[in-house]
Structure 1
């Protein structure tokens, strides 16, 4: 799937399923959302997780920072690409740039703790050239500021744990939200 098609999928799927354990697979499989972020796994099972989700018809992104046993090296991108994942999520700009150069869709995760971390987005995006910005936590004001300043699409995640927060984030400029809350998955 090309970048434009994937961007349309995010717009068409405002709720991204944040999967934190294999026990959630039946819920993920049943859910109408097409996009899943895997937020767990190990070097020994992440390929199987991706393949099972793909067989269930899902578009799969691996948060490589959360997979036990993976280092922040380019070889991780090569490994994940072989798993048939559609893309990666990471807070590591150099890893994202390598992934994008090698045909994976990239989502740059930013942990916004204060105004200094928010102001660093531009410099890091220059390095990563990511397809999407992922702002966490999903504070509506920060989503709004980011949407005003950058043309790169935004996903909100982290503490987006109720319907009101999800809707507010979408109104503020996020194209999608990612949540691990099963109640929000039903939106």
Structure 2
């Protein structure tokens, strides 16, 4: 919690410990993002997203689930679309999704490929107000530097030394 970032991503929480974790983060002035696919005991439907916003006081969500992101957007939550770069087809498909359902940010994984593709993605999404984040296999400081040098505004990593 001593990290400089204003955001904390909770990725291994469950509905039983979520309220306590969010409370601790908010007490330290951090905004809380929840990784929906990794939230135990949770269903990312409209009622579930509303519960995250109104009961748990979540600030935003990260997901590859487009329906869940739409619900979150309607609730006024920060939305981050998670894009896994597998091949050029997945890249093109993800760009098309973003054009039709713009999130607040896009997390592109894995980070090494994200650095190589950011210029192409940015060019295809010109005119869209989207923040780019890189994640996946971010374990060393040199990669963090490479990510920011490439033009990303943030990273996701489970490596505490890089927070």
Within 5 A, what are the aligned runs for 1:7-46?
28=1, 30-46=2-18
Tell me what 2:156 maps to.
178
Cα RMSD after superposing both structures: 1.5
Aligned partners of 1:45 and 1:127: how far apart in 2?
A: 35
Aligned partners of 1:172 and 1:31: how far apart in 2?
A: 22
- Do structure 1's residue 65 and structure 2's residue 37 form an aligned pair? yes
Aligned partners of 2:16 and 2:107: how far apart in 1?
A: 27
Deviation by residue 1:25-51 (Cα, 9 ceiling, x = unmatched): xxx2x2232211111111222122112
Greater relative contact order (Cα < 8 A, sep 6+): 1
- Do structure 1's residue 148 and structure 2's residue 123 form an aligned pair? yes
- Do structure 1's residue 53 and structure 2's residue 25 form an aligned pair? yes
Q: TM (normalized to structure 2)?
A: 0.88
> Secondary structure at 1:84's aligned position in 2?
coil
Given that 2:132 and 2:152 are in contact with CA atoms closer than 8 Å, whether structure 1 keeps it comes out as yes
Tell me what 2:98 maps to.
125
Which structure 2 segments of 5+ residues have no match?
none
Given that 1:93 and 1:127 are in contact with CA atoms closer than 8 Å, whether structure 2 keeps it comes out as no
> Secondary structure at 2:32's aligned position in 1?
strand
Q: TM (normalized to structure 1)?
A: 0.78
Aligned partners of 1:105 and 1:96: how far apart in 2?
A: 9
- Do structure 1's residue 134 and structure 2's residue 110 form an aligned pair? no
The Cα of 1:127 is off from its aligned counterpart by 4.7
Q: Name the count of aligned residue pairs.
A: 157
